[in-house]
Structure 1
Amino acid sequence: MPKNRIRSSAMTLGAAAALILSLAGCAGSSAGQSGEGLDSAGQQALSQAKDFVEKSQSKVTDVALASSSPAIAKDISIVVIPCTYAAEGCKRVADSVQEAGKTLGWETRMIDPAGDPEKMRQAIRTALQLKVDGIVLGAIPEILVKDDVALARAAGIKVVNAMEPNSKEFSDAQTGTDNVQAGRMNAALLAVQTGGLGRVITINDPQFPAVIGWHKGFTEGLKEFCPSCTIVKEMEFQLSGLQTTLPQEFQATLTANPDVNAVWAAYDPVVTAITPVIERSSNPDIRVVSQNADPSALKDLKSGDKPVLGSVGYSIEWIGYSAVDQMNRLFSGSLPDAERLRTVPNKLITSSNVTTVPWDGDADWKNAFLTAWKSAK
């Protein structure tokens, strides 16, 4: 299956109208989406942001799906190691890898390191002791496990990296998405939401390369689409403090910056953690953008009564199935270099374009894999 491509069609007039109405209904600044108070450069940037938001919300219409498969490897045992099973995105990739592996008749198991770097390394060493044939890493940063992965590969274990944009030398294959593009989508959405006058808090988890890419795309996109926007505070946290220290630190930051009207969050569980803080603050109209489009975020978007404004979705389940497909091709020696790095499409999801929960990538990728695998058995 070649690297996926995205060509989004233009939104229908009805979808565009729904977007405008949904944004207008939750305006976070006195200027709304009009751009009142902007100079000509700011007005032009805001116009470009609106165009980019429309494009980013369009249905994905051009993807490359699996059409064939080598013979399914027999008597295979694999382990999937997510960053932490408690985080919805990591849970989803672990579940999809196990589902796909069992479909192929493989023995599959999950080892949960619970977000602890030492337990991540120990999980790989456990896989070595179990003498598994393959390891799938779900959102595990290379810097935390590089040496242990090298030991596993030296022992003949195939390693597929899912979700994190680690170096190509780190693993035998990788499936992810365009993280910088996703960040730009959120920047454009906040520019439109705040009428080009955003006062923004960013909440970054720089431990993860995917988040680094999202943050890079957002900050660069904000300069492009919202030159009058200001990042008033850049917060950083670690996953282990998601439910404990982060809400407290965010509360203090909001108190110190009462004119904030928007937040960029590293991923959807961050939105869940800070939502109660926003709802009881002096400005409950603050809006938040994020990444992953987890089912909980999509449900909140549909309800329309939570701070979340949008989340950039990519099908994590698609990534899990792709990782297993890559693993099978590695076992057969038929994974060409062009397919060692695969990407699945992004889509900006707001209240106006929630379709499936979780988002299915606007493609029947699962049936394509199952059909190809069935034909190969």
Structure 2
Amino acid sequence: MMVRVRLDLVSFVAGAVLAAGTLPAFAQDAEAGVERARQALAVYQEKPVFKAPAEPFDAKACAKGKRMLSIPNSSANPFLKGIIDRMKLVGKELGLDVVEWENQGQPSQWVQGFEYAIRDKFDIIDLISGIDPATVAPQVKAASDAGVKVMTSHFYDPSDKQSPLVSSSLTIGFNEIGKILGNWAIANTDGKANIILVVSNEVPPTAPLVRGIKSALADNCPDCKIAQEINVGVTEWATKIQPSVQSAVQADPDVNVVIPIYDSMSQFVVPALRLTGKTGSVKVATFNGTPFVLDFISQGVVDMDIGESLDWIAYATIDGHLRDACGLKSPSALNVPFYIFDKNNVADAGSPAKFDTGYGDAYVAGFRKLWGLGAE
């Protein structure tokens, strides 16, 4: 009888709370966290706006006769190849000869790139998104001693300690990207995110990005969790991501989000979810804005991709590196805005999706004015 009375009392109190329109403190805190996550995402759901990174300068006069060798961490990465292809076009108009050092992600090949740049008297070496200058420190010093300026782009987070060997660095907010991914997972699971992270710890930007995800979860959803963090080296994505994700999803039926932090990983995550029957029920959020992944959103097999305009990155990289090469102060960051693509706006990227489509083109007129060029 006493147990029955207590249960009735609990029911009465719960009913009174609901009738009064209030929630227990823990529930209010959880709802507030979800709302904070949604508000944090709002700025990335608006069309990007161009902001001049520095004072105007005569870019054409600066670029005349100069050559830049761009070394990606791997030419197999379509995101990086896309940026370099656009830098070639931007450079051509200015008189800057941009050359890609094609490689398969092997450090020995990066070393050969340095040797080529020194031998052929390039003015600039651009280490783009993934090559840590510390791994090629002797080559960086040799290039610098030979009069070649070595710079990084789309590599360091602003919080990173940057190598003193390089002439300048154009940073990108990897930590900021992580916070977007974390807040998206919170907002799109109503504060119940149980996440599998797919990372490549060998790539230095991974660390600040993952810190950003964990920071967002800690701030806005302490009850959300990372069920498993799967680390796969860049050269092993094609062989290890799919079976690893498949096993992780099968081992934990409560997983409801997979975050492959670089979106080219998604091509191996999507089949893993298909084979486990989890397509649609497990959400996929990622970063880079690569067209085939945006097409995955249209197909309903990926839910969100944080995009950056590759053309905008190309313009910003050329701008920063030329300033450095000509003795001007280079911006400390790329200043390229992030933009969330999901089912509501992915059609703006084209069908099939295209690089640079859906962001607007205000940056083109912005940089041309900054460089003293006429309208296109």
Task: Identify the TM-score tier after normalising by the shorter chain.
Answer: 0.7 to 0.9
Separation of aligned partners in 2, 1:346 and 1:58: 10
Q: CA deviation at 1:98?
A: 1.7
Residue 120 in 1 paired to residue 110 in 2?
yes
**Aligned-residue identity in percent:** 23
Residue 350 in 1 paired to residue 315 in 2?
no
Q: CA deviation at 1:169?
A: 2.5
Separation of aligned partners in 1, 2:117 and 2:244: 37
- Residue 44 of structure 1 is aligned with which of 17, 32, 55? 32
Q: CA deviation at 1:96?
A: 2.0
Q: TM-score, normalised by structure 1?
A: 0.82
Query: Relative to structure 1, is the Cα distance of residues 374 and 117 closer, same or farther in structure 2, using a 3 angstrom cutoff?
Result: same
Residue 142 in 1 paired to residue 133 in 2?
yes
CA contact (8 A) 1:133 1:157 kept: yes
CA contact (8 A) 2:312 2:336 kept: yes
Aligned length: 337
CA contact (8 A) 2:186 2:224 kept: yes
Q: CA deviation at 1:217?
A: 0.6
Q: TM-score, normalised by structure 2?
A: 0.82
Query: Relative to structure 1, is the Cα distance of residues 212 and 359 closer, same or farther in structure 2, using a 3 angstrom cutoff?
Result: farther
Q: Which residue of 2 aligns with 1:108?
A: 98
Separation of aligned partners in 2, 1:261 and 1:108: 44
- Residue 290 of structure 1 is aligned with which of 269, 286, 293? 286
Larger radius of gyration: 2
Is there any run of 5+ residues in structure 2 with no aligned partner, and where? 1-22
Q: CA deviation at 1:270?
A: 0.8
Separation of aligned partners in 1, 2:171 and 2:308: 9
Which deviates further from its counterpart, 189-198 or 46-55?
Answer: 46-55
Query: Relative to structure 1, is the Cα distance of residues 363 and 176 closer, same or farther in structure 2, using a 3 angstrom cutoff?
Result: farther
Q: Which residue of 1 aligns with 2:216?
A: 221
Query: Relative to structure 1, is the Cα distance of residues 353 and 168 closer, same or farther in structure 2, using a 3 angstrom cutoff?
Result: farther
SS for the counterpart of 1:278 is helix
Is there any run of 5+ residues in structure 1 with no aligned partner, and where? 1-34
CA contact (8 A) 2:53 2:335 kept: no
Q: Which residue of 2 aligns with 1:86?
A: 76
Question: Which residue identity does 1:343 align to in structure 2?
Answer: N
- The one of the two structures with greater contact order (alpha-carbon pairs below 8 A, sep at least 6) is 1
Separation of aligned partners in 2, 1:351 and 1:168: 40
- Residue 265 of structure 1 is aligned with which of 247, 257, 260? 260
Residue 328 in 1 paired to residue 325 in 2?
no
Q: CA deviation at 1:172?
A: 1.9
Separation of aligned partners in 1, 2:96 and 2:329: 23
Separation of aligned partners in 1, 2:54 and 2:182: 33
Separation of aligned partners in 2, 1:53 and 1:371: 31
Separation of aligned partners in 1, 2:32 and 2:304: 23
CA offsets per residue over residues 62-97 of structure 1, 9 Å max, x none? Answer: 622677323233222221111212112111222122
Q: Which residue of 2 aligns with 1:3?
A: none
CA offsets per residue over residues 318-373 of structure 1, 9 Å max, x none? Answer: 2222222223223322x226x24442222222222333443465452223334444
Residue 367 in 1 paired to residue 357 in 2?
no
Separation of aligned partners in 2, 1:56 and 1:299: 20
Query: Relative to structure 1, is the Cα distance of residues 116 and 256 closer, same or farther in structure 2, using a 3 angstrom cutoff?
Result: same
